[in-house]
Structure 1
Amino acid sequence: MLNPEETEAQFEQRWWELMNLMRERFGKKPDMNALLLLIGVQELGQGAGPFTKEQKQDLMHIATCKIFSYSGYYELDRVDEEGWPHYRLVRPVPFANLKEQERMLKWHVLEYFDAQEDEE
């Protein structure tokens, strides 16, 4: 869950550190869609593509489900015969205004990359 003890400044610092790392790695700062696509590709585990527009949307959906699984909103249901993960909604994601949604997404993306770092 969101860390209530983390100040807004600490949260923003973590976010900018991640953005700087992504800029170093890929040559430009990614937007949220690019981050979700990156996470989706990583979760699929089949390399960088090429992917159709529909597959890219599916990859972003996989990423969203994966990152929201950290808060118990989704869980992995199965992996199909082509290796694509499928998630099921466990409980509804709470309604939030646009600013809250952005912060929630950022927090979950940070958690994802923290978890990846822990696995290395």
Structure 2
Amino acid sequence: MFKRDLDLERRWSKLLDGLKETVGKKPNDLNGVLFLIGVQELGQGTKNFSKEQKQDLMHIAICKVLSYAGFYELDFVDQEGWPHWKLVKELPHFDLLEQEKLLKLQVMEYFEKEYQIEL
């Protein structure tokens, strides 16, 4: 494992521990963190979401975190308060591990910028 991968995992673990302190439960994985970001970005609080809404929340989170790298920008917010994003730069073709790394890096940037959390 490369040093940068170890650093990524150290920072990721620190983020998960911080989320446990904040929300009372440690997310199991990247998807759990993305779900939390989606709920936060929707801004309607916690409630019971349908399966389709949960998928939409994950999409909101992915678009939001990838917006920091210039891939997406907010297009509009609909009447129900759901944000809609547009792709402005083509995403790179990565394998699954590289996709996960990119998302983790962007999730950490999200928390650093939105909540001034130092990772």
Q: Report what 1:28 is aligned to.
A: 26
1:10 has 2:2 as partner: no
Distance 1:30 1:113 in 2: 17
Give the count of matched residue pairs.
Answer: 114
Query: Under a length normalisation based on structure 1, what TM-score does the superposition of the two structures give?
Result: 0.86
SS, match of residue 59 in structure 1: helix
**In the TM superposition, what are the counterparts of 1:1-120 in structure 2 within 5 Å?**
7-25=4-22, 26-118=24-116
TM-score normalised to the size of structure 2?
0.87
How far apart, CA to CA, are the structure 1 residues paired with 2:43 and 2:52?
17
SS at match of 2:86: strand
Aligned-CA RMSD value: 1.7
Cα deviation, residue 98, structure 1:
1.5
Aligned CA distance change for structure 1 residues 29 and 81 (closer, same or farther; 3 Å): closer
Structure 1 segments, 4+ long, off by >4 Å, are none
Counterpart-to-counterpart distance in 1, 2:9 and 2:65: 18
**Structure 1: gaps spanning 5 or more residues:** 1-5
